[in-house]
Structure 1
């Protein structure tokens, strides 16, 4: 343990699901954590208590990633709580299931704002602060195998994740001279609180979708925690612009 001792991380969407698992894993490794939550303050307070239970400083901010002023609010609050962060995890995302011909401009704009615009400018702000202080850092973008494997009724979501995956490569290339690494985690089908109505109310559908996963089951949030710790730690110090696909083998078939 203590692989991240002395580090400070920002995790967006850290109150539930994959973001929460990453935040808890970071705290367990000695990292101080500032996280965001959309509106579930009960979940945010529970996560905060668990993080602090590991003996690290932690705090959170209720924030909508579609807010044009959201990045400035996040960076100001995180800096006030922890000081300059070493790690940024762009995890917060939103998704609706609509067929391509039915997606409205409003639906498209919100998905793009949360899933791509916010990480784009959060990474920019985070990197500018590190460069100004001549500090190295690590950015972890939580994308999806949907970035390169199409399924129906998710064209807007898949486009946003494809953009996020390319942002990783572009930012990694430009930020490498400053010692700022940027990498991606691409999850496969994962059971989280946000999609609970699907896997709880229609288990037959999830069994059917799981048939295409070589390891035989959907992921859980904890399946991604180790990858995030690795990318935040010195163990991945010669890795940037990469993509860790954590999907039970789905992308291999």
Structure 2
């Protein structure tokens, strides 16, 4: 197994208060699973973190029992099992992103569903496996409110609810975005990549509470994340992102649903 490091840190809820992280990381002998449970705005459903925990357990069991099977087939089976067990139906279910890295003696694979990227480092540079479809979906005006300096609070939560209502009809549909929820076929819409193991020197896996440091804040690029994680450990990356957010407590510079999102980062050293 490659050397690895994992760091996780809880963010805050929509009320700004501390609560357990809804990110889930599971390390197996020849695979790593990272899930980011979506923050729920519906009190009648389990939390995104509870969904991610159950989905992660189903995925880990399948990867362990049948490591030779296709990753999308394994993910589809896990989504189906969780939906059936809880009687979730499309549009009436919690949701989660999924990122999987798996390797054997010959190859390294990645699967990404929704916004938790996997980055592999090869001699020609970083190969980013990302699913950007959610970024292209109209989300309402909550970001405009934040940019104008109106900050977080009850009005912000109301704007988020309005945004969620606009986004919901586009979930797990062509022309919208795909995520783990109650539609097993979403697994086959994941972004995939495979590389020769001999060429991979490192792999990063991140929830969007960390990838925002690259994609939104511009604090570093992916080689910079790798170098910091290798030198000081993955927690140093999380700390750098959180320190930047503390300079923007009202979300005016970097509009985001919460002042601090949950953070998870995995660093795999294949060198």
The answer to which structure has the higher strand fraction is 2
The answer to which structure has the higher helix fraction is 1
Alignment TM-score, normalising by the size of structure 1: 0.35
Higher relative contact order (CA 8 A, sep 6+): 2
Alignment TM-score, normalising by the size of structure 2: 0.33
